[in-house]
Amino acid sequence: MSLRSPLGRVLGHGSAKGGSGHWYSQRTTAVALVILGLWFVASLAMLGPGAPHEAVTHWLASPFSAAMAVLLVLVGAWHALLGLQVVVEDYVGDKGTRVVVLVAIKFALVVAGLIGVLAVLRLAFGLQP
């Protein structure tokens, strides 16, 4: 005897129906990152040799730069999450390990993304200690 009803045992074995959303988000973030990535490389070049602190604060004091930097962090974390998820699902066979790795990646990227956004906002609003 099991706690689960016969109906409960057979339900929920099909597709999660979220695949096309994942695929579409991966592409949308990819297009955004083409723009954001090129902007970031150009910005790095303009910061000058050694990227001095004053240059970084001046750069992110501009609302446009700050907005682009926040987007780079958010969209970058999202794209990385979607991409790493596909790689883990393809190569990590054991179901338990897979779930643990996927959750760990999600936690790490959410925390790092949040730190990145707060750091940019702090510089954008000039909240120097």
Partner 1 sequence: MAQPQRPLSPFMQYRWQYTNTTSILHRITGILLSLCFFVLVYWLAAAAAGPDRYRDALEAIASPLVQFVLFAGLFSFCYHLLNGIRHLFFDAGYGFELPVARKSGWAAVIGAVVLTAVLWVTLGAMLGGAA
Q: Which lies closer to partner 1 via its Cβ, residue 11 or residue 115?
A: 115
Q: Choose, by CB under 8 A, the member of 18, 50, 63, 93 that binds partner 1.
A: 50
Residue 118 interacting with partner 1 (CB under 8 A): yes
Asked if residues 86 and 25 have their Cβ atoms less than 8 Å apart, the reply is no
The single-letter DSSP state of residue 129 is -
- Residue 127 CA to residue 111 CA, distance in Å, equals 21
Query: Is 104 near partner 1 (CB under 8 A)?
Result: no
Contact between 9 and partner 1 by CB under 8 A: the answer reads no
Query: Tell me, what amino acid is at 1?
Result: M
CB 115 within 8 A of CB 58: no
47: Cβ contacts below 8 Å, ≥ 6 apart: 55, 56, 59
**Per CB under 8 A, which of residues 61..90 are in contact with partner 1?**
69, 72-73, 76-77, 80, 83-84, 87
Q: Within 13 Å, how many C-alpha atoms sit on residue 17's CB side?
A: 3
Binding site for partner 1 (CB under 8 A): 27, 30-31, 33-34, 37-38, 41, 44-45, 47-51, 53, 56-57, 60, 69, 72-73, 76-77, 80, 83-84, 87, 108-109, 112-113, 115-116, 118-120, 122-123, 128-129
